[in-house]
Amino acid sequence: MRENVPLASMTTLKLGGPARRLVEIETEADALAAVVDCAREKLLVLGGGSNVVIADEGFEGTVLHMATRGIDVAREARSDGRVLVTAQAGEPWDDFVSEMVARNLSGIECLAGIPGLVGAVPMQNVGAYGQDVAETIERVRTWDRDLGRVVTFSNADCHFAYRSSVFRGRDRHVILDVTFALHAVHVDGASRPLHYAELTRALGIGEGQSAPLSRVREIVIELRRKKGMVVDPHDPDTRSAGSFFTNPILDAPALDALRTRIDPLLMPTYPVADGRTKVSAAWLIEHAGFKKGWGRGPVAISRKHALALTNRGGATTHELLALAREVRDGVHSRFGVLLEHEPVLVGVALEHVYQPSRAN
């Protein structure tokens, strides 16, 4: 346990002040001892620090820095052909994906190259290239700080939705391990059917077709790298928290309203299962006038992807959030669509107060 520990270096944005206390967690016993010890305090579980924005003032509570390791693969597949695999919360996610691909277990290969730890993926139902973890998570074992005991969530109990779950934005449950149900495929076997156009194009296959797991993993990493979404210490475009905003999901009246403000043929849209429509936040940002690379001093939109806000060096959280507000308000003013932030904000807020402007 250490006190007054700077957190910036533990985040991919390289932002944030000190934690009052920080506990390194290497075993589940460490985790349980720490959560009991700080039962009444504010708690922040920090994994890879890739999806948090921490206040410049830091965090007035205890940070658990998770480093629990271990992967347990069931010896036999279930009758539905799926194999249960349990990973400790502190396993690095991308290493876990690589290992599953190497073992010919399919279901998370499109999620290669994503920073962070296994324990963080249920939080915001991590997703990319047409897969999200809600499709393969079987259960999540947690410590429930209110009940003071271990509580296991089934997939349904997690209430997964687009970039969200029952765990998001709360510090009640500390995730201890996650069990996935992955599809066993033959040696050098095929991925799940792929539907993300950019990915199938890069693989040279048709929509709904499959490709070898290892190839899917490689191409996904290549695509992510081109967008600055693979952390590289030498590339300031990757000093971000990934997508800063989620893609808005609009009902029919909201979509119609948006279409009156823009040439609907130009705007990329994606149907969602419930009949609503997802629109691209990155596209809205660019068409509201915030081009890639646009910025203010040490904070800027990534030069590789309009959805990532970056610290170009020496920035503060205050400056990053000012940029986020400017982008959000600019998009709202131009299109009437309010972007929601995606990373977890710690000790700071992007107030939902919008100053009406000329466009309205």
The site for ligand EPU (CB under 6 A) is made up of 128-129, 163, 196, 198, 227, 229, 242-243, 246-247, 268, 280, 282-283, 286, 292, 305-307, 342
Q: How far is the CB of 254 from ligand EPU (least distance, A)?
A: 18
CA 177 to each of CA 63, 139, 198, 310: distance values in angstroms, whole numbers, following the listed order: 18, 9, 32, 31
75 is catalytic: no
Q: How far is the CB of 299 from ligand EPU (least distance, A)?
A: 17
CB atoms within 10 A of CB 265: 6
138 is catalytic: no
Nearer to ligand EPU, 145 or 227 (CB): 227
Nearer to ligand EPU, 185 or 339 (CB): 339
CB atoms within 10 A of CB 147: 10
Shortest-Cβ-distance residue relative to ligand EPU: 242
Annotated catalytic residue, options 164, 240, 243, 302: 243
Which amino acid would we find at residue 166?
V
Q: How far is the CB of 153 from ligand EPU (least distance, A)?
A: 22
Nearer to ligand EPU, 55 or 230 (CB): 230
CB atoms within 10 A of CB 221: 18
DSSP 8-state class, residue 133: G
Nearer to ligand EPU, 24 or 232 (CB): 232
What would the two tokens of residue 210 be?
Answer: 């499959």
What would the two tokens of residue 230 be?
Answer: 């693979």
Cα distance between residue 288 and residue 344, in whole Å = 25
Q: How far is the CB of 247 from ligand EPU (least distance, A)?
A: 5
Annotated catalytic residue, options 163, 224, 239, 303: 163
342 is catalytic: yes
How are the residues of the chain apportioned to helix, strand and coil, as percentages rounded to the nearest 5?
A: 25, 25, 45
Residues annotated as part of the active site: 163, 243, 342
